[in-house]
Amino acid sequence: MQEHILKVSPKDSGKRLDSYLSDFSKEKKLGLSRESLKKLILQGGVLLNNGLIKPHYKLKSDDEIRINIEDKKTETPEAEDISLDVVYEDRDLAVINKPSGLVVHPAPGNYEHTLVNALLHRFKDLSSVNPKRPGIVHRLDKETSGLLVIAKNNFAHLALAEQFAKHTIKRKYIALVKGKMEFDENVIEAPIGRHPLKRKSMSVGFGSKTKYAKTYYRTLKRTDEFSLLELEPFTGRTHQLRVHLAFLGHPILGDNKYGRKDEFSRLALHAQKIAFLHPATGKLLEFSSELPGEFREFLNKT
């Protein structure tokens, strides 16, 4: 159990309680979101002058706030000695170059041998915002390779998640797609939702349950059989790049869900570049990785 006792200063008088505690959490790097603080208040974990209070309460000078935070006791996956390509590491985060074929986090059908199992073995500290997925701020599909940011503490996790939510994290992918692209560059704006018949797949649609999705592409090379593209997603919908390109009639090679598996040895999608602001220092960090060997061999043959 963590306990924090705060005294409201005159300059904070008039602030909402949940807003005040959110600022305090960020300052002390407690890793508590505003929503989780609101829940804590409603559950009686926050006392004002030793009494229960509502999240929207307007603070007064000299109010005493007592916060009690229960230690999380949720089971986490087991550590496994799985080799990792660590591109960068500091006290707050790490950047991993994920290989194709590695599932990011445990889920039905894949409770072992995931990136999370490898992270638990490799790193002493990982964020626990989602205890079942320690360190995981964003994900890549199993067959997608490339750069992934890992949070080592909850402060870093929430700060990175906020950047993802605001679409300020820049990501660029390289993909091999079927057929000859017509344009040198273009923007795909087509909403994505759950496929009406194939419930494990996504599709472009225009119903009430779809979400806005936007992807920029640039053609790096084209032949009659395939094109090499640089892709930049402006939104982060499930399978966005795969769905958008299949919608154009140029599915990613090796995509057994939205194209044909036998056209490439794996899904021909690689997260090559990522850029974001460091949660603690505010410094811009930029990383890039080499094209996987399968890509280079394919391109050398054409």
Annotated catalytic sites, by residue? 141
Rounded Cα distance, 99 and 173, in Å: 14
Output the CA torsion 151→156→157→161 (10° steps): -120
Gap between the Cα atoms of 251 and 59, Å rounded: 56
Distance CA 141, CA 22 (A): 33
Give me the half-sphere count of Cα atoms (radius 13 Å) on the Cβ side of residue 227. Answer: 22
Please state the three-class secondary structure of 187-204 as a single string: EEECCEEECCCCCCCEEE
Distance CA 219, CA 59 (A): 56
Tell me the C-alpha distance between 234 and 169, whole Å.
Answer: 9
How many whole angstroms from its chain centre is CA 9?
Answer: 37
